[in-house]
Amino acid sequence: MKKLKPYFIAIFIGSICAVILFANTSNDAFAYEEYNAYAVQIGVFTKEEYAFNLKQKYNGKVVYDDGVYRVYFSILFDKENINFITGYLEKNNIGYITKRIYISSDTKEIKKYENIMKQMKSEKGKLKINEEILNMYEGVI
């Protein structure tokens, strides 16, 4: 028993240190953030100039990410609106990929615009709203 006493003391001290150390740790640091939006990307470039040329051609948005310039045509929450956008791109032979992303900013205003986009019958009107929504992401993504 005499030989086990130092081990019990070490375990006890270690447990107290762990409780003190992890008591102030936020659980948020370990939380997994789910994707909540869809992004339609129409290009990715290593040269900024090429990305901005494509942005101008299709009224997209350029985001510098992971050492490349990504050109987004749309970033939306509603799958029905995404289906409209991807259908439009396919109809016009514009290559794209769709991916899920996480938007951490307040999205209430964007979702209002998306509801209007869903109800709109005109293709031009939907595309204009899509453009406005992309502009709302300035400085957020």
Which structure tokens are listed for 41?
């990307």
* pLDDT for the residue 19: 66
Nearest CA-CA partner of 105 in 51, 52, 30, 33: 33
Domain housing 44: 37-136
Mean pLDDT by 10 residues, the chain (141 residues): 69 72 53 71 96 94 93 95 97 95 81 93 95 82 60
pLDDT value of residue 108: 84
Q: Is residue 91 part of a domain?
A: yes
* pTM, entire model: 0.71
Q: What is the per-residue pLDDT across 108-136, written as a single tens digit (0 to 9) for each? A: 888 999 999 999 999 999 999 999 999 88
Does the residue 26 lie in any domain?
no
Closest by Cα among 36, 92, 37, 83 to 59:
92
Would you say 82 and 51 are in contact if contact means Cβ atoms under 8 Å apart?
Answer: no
Domain with 122 in it: what CATH number?
3.30.70.1070
Q: For residue 105, is it within any domain?
A: yes
> Count of domains in the chain?
1
Contact 133/113 with Cβ under 8 angstroms?
yes
- Domain membership of residue 3 (yes or no) is no
Q: Determine, yes or no, domain membership for 19.
A: no
Residue 16 within any structural domain of the chain: no
